């Protein structure tokens, strides 16, 4: 049985003051939660999360990390720096990083290797664009993304990764994949994982991301291969985020 994970992606939002309110709201509503819950915040706020969330049952993490261990990489943040702030998760290969920062599948795979070696959990994003979906390429696109990731991971480490299926056309747009559409792709992703190790593929959590909200979360999270959500906009409001956690 896979334990569901609801992970907030705050993107480039927040301030010390607004974060304190949001984190307090989430913490206050979390006691009954039977799934894993995390927030991935801008790196400058990791210290705030560590101090606000230690012992709360809520985990925290980053939205990206360097593929390098240390050195002359101005502006980058290493995995060991994230560990200094007790991060548990790192989002990798988000479509916004791929689109605005030119991150390739190969770079995402390198980052994933480093994150897994360090003992943190990567939440690796894959997904197709609208043009790719409309031209019937969804399976080919996500399979190609998975091939690069799977070539970079030992079969024994498979269950250390979390995959997030995020159709690019659904992110921040208010358009959501129907539960059936999402389930179809999740099943494709699990079959790909199964080519590496059939047993461990059953343990890998595959999250759905793309305008998941309280009013669509229940149906999405009821699908057999949807093991949680990667939540953008709705993660910035504690009531909405908690409602999704509740459905998980
Ligand atoms: C995301 O950015 O990972 C995301 C899923 O955003 P939203 O929920 O706002 O679509």
| Tens-place pLDDT, residues 133-166 | 999 999 999 999 999 999 999 999 999 999 999 9
For ligand 1, whether the C-beta of 126 sits within 6 Å is no
Residue 234 contacts by C-beta under 8 Å, 6 or more apart in sequence?
A: 212, 213, 214, 240, 241, 244
For β-strands 162-165 and 59-62, DSSP reports them as unpaired
The pLDDT of residue 199 is 95
Give the number of residues written for the chain: 248
pLDDT at 119: 98
- CATH superfamily, domain at 5-247: Aldolase class I (3.20.20.70)
Q: What confidence score (pLDDT) does residue 34 get?
A: 76
Instruction: Classify residue 200 as exposed, middle or buried by CB count within 10 Å of its CB (0-12, 13-18, 19+).
Output: middle
Residues in the chain with pLDDT values less than 50: none
Ligand 1 nearest atom to the CA of residue 235, by list position: 8
**How far is residue 12 from each of residues 52, 178, 227, measured CA to CA in Å?**
19, 27, 25
Residue 166 appears among annotated catalytic residues = yes
Residues in CB range of 202: below 8 A, 6 or more apart? 2, 190, 194
C-alpha of residue 71 to centroid of ligand 1, in Å: 32
- Cβ of 228 below 6 Å from ligand 1: no
Residue nearest to atom 7 of ligand 1 (CA): 232
Q: Locate all alpha helices (DSSP H) within 32-78, ordered by sequence.
A: 46-53
The whole-number pLDDT of residue 107 equals 98
Q: Structure pTM?
A: 0.97
pLDDT at residue 32, rounded to an integer? 66
- Out of 5, 6, 169, 171, give the residue to mutate to test ligand 1, the one with the largest number of ligand atoms within 8 Å of its CB: 171
Note the pLDDT of residue 203. 97
């Amino acid at each position: 049985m896979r334990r569901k994970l609801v992970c907030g992606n705050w993107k480039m939002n927040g301030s010390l003051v607004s974060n304190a309110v949001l984190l307090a709201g989430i913490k206050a509503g979390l006691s009954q939660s039977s799934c894993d819950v995390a927030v991935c915040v801008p790196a400058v706020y990791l210290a705030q999360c560590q101090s606000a969330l230690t012992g709360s049952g809520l985990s925290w993490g980053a939205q990206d990390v360097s593929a390098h261990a240390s050195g002359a990489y101005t502006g980058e943040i290493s995995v060991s720096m994230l560990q200094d702030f007790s991060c548990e998760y790192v989002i990798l290969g988000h479509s916004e990083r791929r689109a605005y920062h030119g991150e390739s599948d190969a770079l995402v795979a390198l980052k994933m290797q480093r994150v897994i070696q360090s003992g943190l959990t990567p939440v690796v994003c894959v997904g197709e664009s609208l043009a790719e979906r409309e031209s019937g390429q969804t399976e080919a696109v996500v399979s190609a993304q998975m091939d690069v990731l799977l070539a970079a991971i030992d079969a024994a480490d498979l269950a250390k990764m979390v995959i997030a299926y995020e159709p690019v056309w659904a992110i921040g747009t208010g358009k959501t994949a129907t539960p059936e559409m999402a389930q179809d792709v999740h099943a494709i992703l699990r079959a790909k994982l199964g080519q590496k190790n059939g047993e461990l593929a059953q343990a890998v959590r595959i999250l759905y991301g793309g305008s998941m909200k309280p009013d669509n979360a229940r149906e999405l999270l009821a699908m057999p291969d949807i093991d949680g959500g990667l939540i953008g906009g709705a993660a910035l409001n504690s009531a909405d985020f908690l409602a999704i956690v509740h459905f998980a």
